[in-house]
């Protein structure tokens, strides 16, 4: 069995607690309008690893993880390669390594995989089916099913929402988001991420139309203010 990895960040500090090795898996099923990693969309390409090869690579960084750190699977969409991820996570748990899954929650065959995951960082693309489809190009059912499953399994959650000027940067949306999140259990943290335009050049290189052309980056301060409303 093999999996395809877009890139590896050996010492990440933002994708989960502590110092983490972040594995960006190749391939994504969504096409978010704000995505800054369009090079990770295709399931073709990436570097090939067997689960054991990847675990050996990750284990080298184990001395840096301390009490909180570990590995985070991100993407692309890590749930796009569920069998590979399951085998890799089984081996990581034998090494007693903490595992985070940074996901948009679209995928299948994650029932057993989730038993090996210590923390899920879940992207909320939008709280309504209409908004979700506008942002991702996909129906919301898979996300909803994933959320139901992680709730049933009592998994710890960090939630993330990208804030885009003119789309969801209003107090009204944030209050609705707050209400939506209040019904989700085991939420340890909620972060608002300001939309940025740093990925635009990649779209040009890949000859893909950029749907948010002309939309300015989200003001960091305003985003922090909205985050304060959300977390108050
Ligand atoms: S889920 Fe992530 S990688 Fe996939 S399109 Fe959306 S932002 Fe990009």
In this predicted model, what pLDDT tens digit does every residue of 48-92 receive, in sequence order?
999 999 999 999 999 999 999 999 999 999 999 999 999 999 999
User: Interhelix angle for 51-59 vs 82-94, to 10°?
Assistant: 40
What per-residue confidence (pLDDT) applies to 139?
Answer: 98
What per-residue confidence (pLDDT) applies to 223?
Answer: 97
> Could you tell me the distance, in angstroms and rounded to a whole number, from the CA of residue 144 to the centre of ligand 1?
17
For domain 3-231, the CATH architecture is: Alpha-Beta Barrel (3.20)
- In three-state secondary structure terms, 202 is helix
Q: Output the six-digit token pair for 101.
A: 């899954």
What per-residue confidence (pLDDT) applies to 8?
Answer: 97
The number of the ligand 1 atom at minimal distance from the alpha carbon of 40 is: 3
Can you list the pairs that 90-96 forms with residues at least 24 positions away whose Cβ atoms lie under 8 Å? Answer: 90/51, 90/116, 91/51, 91/52, 91/55, 92/55, 92/58, 92/116, 95/55, 95/59, 95/62
What per-residue confidence (pLDDT) applies to 195?
Answer: 98
What per-residue confidence (pLDDT) applies to 118?
Answer: 98
The confidence band for 230, taking pLDDT boundaries of 50, 70 and 90, is very high
The number of the ligand 1 atom at minimal distance from the alpha carbon of 38 is: 8
In this predicted model, what pLDDT tens digit does every residue of 87-136 receive, in sequence order?
999 999 999 999 999 999 999 899 999 999 999 999 999 999 999 999 99
The number of the ligand 1 atom at minimal distance from the alpha carbon of 104 is: 1
List the residue whose alpha carbon is closest to atom 6 of ligand 1. 32
In this predicted model, what pLDDT tens digit does every residue of 192-201 receive, in sequence order?
999 999 999 9
Cα–Cα distance, 27 to 125 (Å, whole number) = 18
Q: What residues does each domain of the chain span?
A: 3-231
């Amino acid at each position: 069995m093999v999996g395809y990895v877009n890139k590896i960040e050996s010492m990440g500090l933002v994708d989960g607690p502590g110092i983490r090795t972040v594995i960006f898996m190749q391939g994504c099923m969504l096409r978010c309008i704000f995505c800054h990693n369009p090079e990770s969309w295709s399931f073709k390409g990436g570097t090939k690893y067997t689960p054991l090869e990847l675990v050996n690579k990750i284990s080298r960084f184990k001395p840096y993880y301390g009490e909180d750190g570990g590995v985070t699977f991100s993407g692309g969409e890590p749930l796009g390669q569920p069998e590979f991820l399951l085998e890799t996570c089984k081996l990581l748990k034998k090494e007693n390594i903490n595992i985070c899954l940074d996901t948009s929650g679209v995928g299948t065959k994650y029932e057993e995989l989730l038993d090996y995951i210590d923390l899920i960082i879940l992207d909320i693309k939008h709280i309504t089916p209409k908004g979700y489809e506008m942002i991702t190009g996909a129906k919301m059912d898979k996300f909803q099913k994933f959320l139901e499953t992680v709730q049933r399994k009592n998994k710890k959650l960090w939630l993330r929402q990208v804030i885009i000027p003119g789309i969801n940067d209003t107090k009204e949306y944030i209050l609705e988001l707050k209400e939506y999140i209040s019904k989700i259990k085991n939420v340890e943290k909620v972060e608002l991420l300001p939309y940025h335009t740093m990925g635009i050049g990649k779209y040009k290189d890949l000859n893909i139309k950029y749907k948010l052309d002309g939309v300015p980056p989200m003001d960091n301060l305003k985003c922090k203010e909205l985050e304060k409303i959300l977390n108050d």
